[in-house]
A and B are shown apart, each in its own frame.
Chain A
Amino acid sequence: MTEARPDPDELLRRVEAEAKNGRGRLTIFFGAAPGVGKTFAMLEEAAFQRDVEDRDVVAGVVETHGRFETTTLLAGFERLPPRQLSYRGKTLTEFDLDAALARKPSLILVDELAHTNVEGSRHKKRWQDVEELLDAGIEVMTTVNVQHVESLNDVVAQITGVVVRETVPDSVLDAADEIKLIDLTPDELLERLREGKVYLPAQAERALDNFFKKGNLLALRELALRKTAERVDADMQAWRRAQGIEKTWAASDRLLVCISPSPHSAALLRTGRRIAAGLHAEWLAVNAETPRALPLPAADRARISANLRLAEQLGAETVSLSGQHAAAEVLRLARERNVTKILVGKPRARFRDRFGRSFVDQLILGSGDIDIYVTAGESQRVEIAPALPATAPRRQAGYAAAPLVAAATTALAFILFGRQHLADVAMTYLLGIVLVSMRFDFRAALAAAIVSVLAFNFFFLPPYLTFSIGDLRHVVTFGVMLLVAVVIAGLTQRVRDQAAAARSNERRTALLYAMSQEFARTLDTKTLALVAARQIEQVFESRAAVFLAGSAGGLEIVATPNFDEAGEPEQGVARWVFAHRREAGLGTSTLAGSKGYYLPLTASGPEPEVLGVLGIFPKDPERFNDPEQRRLAETFANQAAIALERARLAEQTERARVAIEAEQLRNTLLSSVSHDLRTPLAVMKGSASALIEDGVELPPATRKEYAGALLEETERLDRLVRDLLDMTRIESGAVRVRKDWQSIEEVLGAAFSRVESLLANREITTEIPGDLIAPFDNVLIEQVLVNLLENAAKYTPARTPIDVRAQQQGNEVVVEVADRGPGIPAAEQSRIFEKFHRGPSERTRGGVGLGLAICRAVVVAHGGRIWVADRAGGGAVFKFALPLDAKRPSPMLPELAERTENGAA
């Protein structure tokens, strides 16, 4: 026996299941119809949990519908007070999600999973509340009827003729840890109904005849049993797999469903979901588009996005494809993803398909070993996603224009042609209709055509001033006028749509491009967030803000100036989005009462991290009801998230680089400092101990020698410490450059007096205009000069001359310290100003390599530059330039009065 080979897919699933561990358990009490006793069963189970298992159980929301047994059972539970919401003047009660989260019981009862929340609640649907409870680690018990299951919704509608709008996505049921079927035979249920044990609201009594028919109940029971059986089967398989019982693995099926803008696609998706569930297969919903001459009408686009969303709710992965040949694209994807079955709707018979092959034909021909299922397009009763309404004011204007144009045309025709040339009059009316068609929508054009036809008849056709028609020939004229109006309106509408689409596409592309351009120029996350907010404000005619994830787990608002849209409640929404990684707010089903539409900014990568939240506060609150707008916002959010991630990575890299550099620097510093501190200390200790030694009378010359060494090393140590301190202070930013107009000659004089002893025995020449002044900090520049003079004294042979010169050159003052030493090799010249860089000679003389680095830091802090060059005739010349950028001081003080000079003191 070979050991059971683990299926990688299965392993992944198990890993995911383990990841769910922090999540609460979900138990669903599932029934075929209202009245089977789900709530009662749930309460019994909860009572058991409470009394026997000693658990902390709270009744979140339980609908007793006044049933005696249920009410009695419920009385024993702690009940969560409902939340009071005022909606249109009425006070309504709703399940209080926040109170439940705050109470955090071990187990909570939430009846009626399919319930739609009162407006103003956080989520649109109760199942979303339950998801949040589960996420918080709370175990939930709930109830669902079979007609509320999304994938069975249409089947139930077909059976019962009642369309149920409150549905629960199949994914919620699939994710449930346990589904308990509460079964009751139809006869028993009808019996209970007759006994009045089943609550029915007054307005639903009419539905009794339709819904609670034995045939319906049988069908619903079968559906519920089958759904549960599927589930049991899946559990069985999961168990077998976990136990490794199954030794061989059938290649698992994968189903692909082709959808289109057709209203039938929703039904197709539900069928796909049922097949996929039956096969225990993963499934994909694919929208394949071929490039067209005209863009899809807005209604179709809305339907496609609604269908894709439905597919996601039904648990499918959604893919949009585009290519010259839709069928070939679909097949390519199918092969790539190892799809075994493709489901497609039966196409409408199209005229053009008589000449070529239809999409389905092409699919079948190219399918090879993939099974193709073709299902019938279903009845029109299926819910149709509403098309986007044309903007109302424009339509009204169109209706207003129709009679006006007809009246104007009538007047014009009268003036031009009287009642003689009927053909010309008809043409004039046509012109009017064309004008309206071009300007307004289809309906307005039709209205214009009808009014025009009536006016034509009334004013120009005998018998005049009546609507009766004398000659049947004119009916043809009317027909043509109407037809022309319809055709032209249709065409112009399409052209307009196309132009608008092209314009908005172009604008969107341009804006996206502009945003990414600006992103490319920006490096830090905050500026990036600001750029994103500004661009999004432009695109969506809104205010926008980016809530950046801070280090302490908080969110930091980055927005353009004068942004005050995000008060505390709005920030709460942003925090919710951040924590749950889902969109929310205006236009969505979660916290729809917010002022803003919020999207998570999610980084890519295997473990995506939420970098922040984008909040958009549109001027027109209707804006984000349009899925197209939300998709566009998503595109921008993605772009921003990518840029933010890039910036964040760059910042991290930069931090790492700085850390590494600091580490290297510290190492260099430690080694050189420890060496350079120890050498003088060794000499000092040696000399001092020799001087203090008891019983030995040193000759005066030797004593002086020791003392001299002591002094010399002390001075060296002093310089070293001074340099280190200076460098540290400069680098830590503790040094402020206090620029003041100063005399170069004066500061040089101070520097000379400090290095006097080092420069003894040297010929020093200076060439400095006495009135040369520049704006600088004299303490810092004195240090630069001291360092340069010390270097010149240390690294050039004794008695060689040092020349100092300063002059104004253009807009700066250049100071030079020139020596006649060995010079600086060209390769060293650029590196000599780096920290801890030590020239070859320096190594033997024990410098730390900080002197010139300090010089550079000081000069750069002054906005100047420093460099070294070879000196003509041998030696090196160090130069630094200070800019003369500041305003020169005002004219001098007047001389003191003459009287102070002589006598009168």
Chain B
Amino acid sequence: MSTPGPLILVVEDEPQMLRFLRASLTTHDYRLVEVETGQEALAQAAARSPDVILLDLGLPDLDGIEVTKRLREWTQIPIIVISARGQEEDKINALDAGADDYLTKPFSVGELLARIRVALRHTAAGIAGHEEPSFSLGELRVDLAQRQVFVADREIHLTPTEYKLLTTLIRYAGKVVTHRQLLKEVWGPPHVEQTQYLRVYMGQLRHKLEPDPARPRYLINEPGVGYRLKVR
């Protein structure tokens, strides 16, 4: 291999999990820095400048959320949080603290790789300094320059709010966006608690864009956490 693969900082204290991550990631040409504590994670993130950080929420010393906060004080390295089911609260807190995405244990290798790819792509887009002029996903196509939305080549009329909601999700495509974050970006900081409005507009958006709104393909609801524009 000529170019070295992306560097991933794995913060995980369980040996079995670590072993699984190591096996899955190295076979896909990622390089790993492995640490077991939050303090080490902070030190290694500064020393090695990894491309992505995989952060387990249950660490022996620092709270994963605390680690996220401290990292975000100085770096925008994508952080993917790994949590157990039933920790919705922690997930939201981590995401609001600046984490980019989350994975719920147990997860498959496919899911893990997809999340890492999304994170790396966002970094790349950030470095490139501009957003792509158009976005397409399955039958959905959004022309960001012309502000036009098409489903199966048929133009869909969106209200300003719906459009802003969609473009926000496109900006974070593939990543989960918390209710709070969406409300803040679309309606502004005073409305971050009014999730019911968000649901209404998301419903309208689903009905306009999804072939079967009850079984959505693009606009995925992550109960208790937020929404995700699915990319695959």
Contacts and interface: CB of A to CB of B under 8 A. Distances in A.
Contact of B215 (A766, A773, A899): A766
A897 B212 CA distance: 29
Contacts of B147: 901-902, 905
A74 to B, nearest CB: 75
Interface stretch (A58-66, A305-313, A491-499, A735-743): A735-743
Contacts of B206: 745-746, 749, 770
Nearest to A903: B147
B171 interface: no
Contacts of A889: 196
Interface string B197-224: 1011011101100001111100011111
A47 to B, nearest CB: 74
Interface of A: 711, 714, 718, 722, 725-726, 729, 740-743, 745-750, 752-753, 764, 766, 768, 770-771, 773, 778-779, 782, 804, 889, 892-893, 895-902, 905
Interface string B31-63: 000000000000000000000000000000000
B160 A897 contact: yes
Contacts of A750: 220-223
B220 A893 contact: no
A749 B222 CA distance: 10
Interface of B: 85-86, 88, 106, 108, 147, 159-161, 163-164, 186-187, 191, 194-197, 199-200, 202-204, 206-207, 212-216, 220-224
Contact of A746 (B86, B108, B221): B221
A726 B215 CA distance: 25
A898 B197 CA distance: 18
B214 A741 contact: no
A902 B164 CA distance: 11
24 contacts: A714-B106, A718-B106, A722-B85, A725-B86, A740-B195, A741-B199, A743-B200, A747-B223, A749-B206, A749-B215, A750-B223, A764-B215, A770-B203, A770-B204, A773-B196, A779-B88, A779-B224, A782-B223, A893-B191, A893-B197, A896-B160, A900-B160, A901-B147, A901-B159
B160 A901 contact: yes
B224 A766 contact: no
A594 to B, nearest CB: 55
Nearest to A901: B160
Given A743-B202, A749-B220, A766-B212, 20 more contacts: A726-B86, A729-B86, A741-B196, A741-B199, A746-B199, A749-B206, A749-B215, A750-B223, A766-B215, A768-B214, A770-B204, A771-B200, A778-B224, A779-B224, A889-B196, A896-B160, A896-B186, A898-B160, A900-B163, A901-B147
Given A768-B214, A770-B207, A893 B223 contact: no
Contact of B221 (A714, A722, A726, A747): A747
A896 B202 contact: no
B161 to A, nearest CB: 5
Contacts of B163: 900-901
B164 A745 contact: no
A270 B47 CA distance: 104
A239 B209 CA distance: 106
Contact of A745 (B88, B213, B220, B222): B213
Contacts of B204: 770
Centre residue among B161, B197, B222 by max chain A CB count within 10 A: B161
A43 to B, nearest CB: 76
Given A779-B88, A804-B214, A896-B161, A746 B203 contact: yes
B212 A753 contact: no
A766 B164 contact: no
Nearest to B144: A905
Q: Which 8 A-B pairs have the closest CB atoms?
A: A766-B214, A779-B224, A750-B221, A896-B160, A901-B160, A889-B196, A782-B223, A778-B223
Nearest to A717: B106
B219 to A, nearest CB: 8
Most buried by B among A729, A745, A749: A749
Given A725-B86, A779-B224, A893-B191, A743 B199 contact: yes
A755 to B, nearest CB: 11
Given A779-B224, A782-B223, A895-B160, A771 B197 contact: no
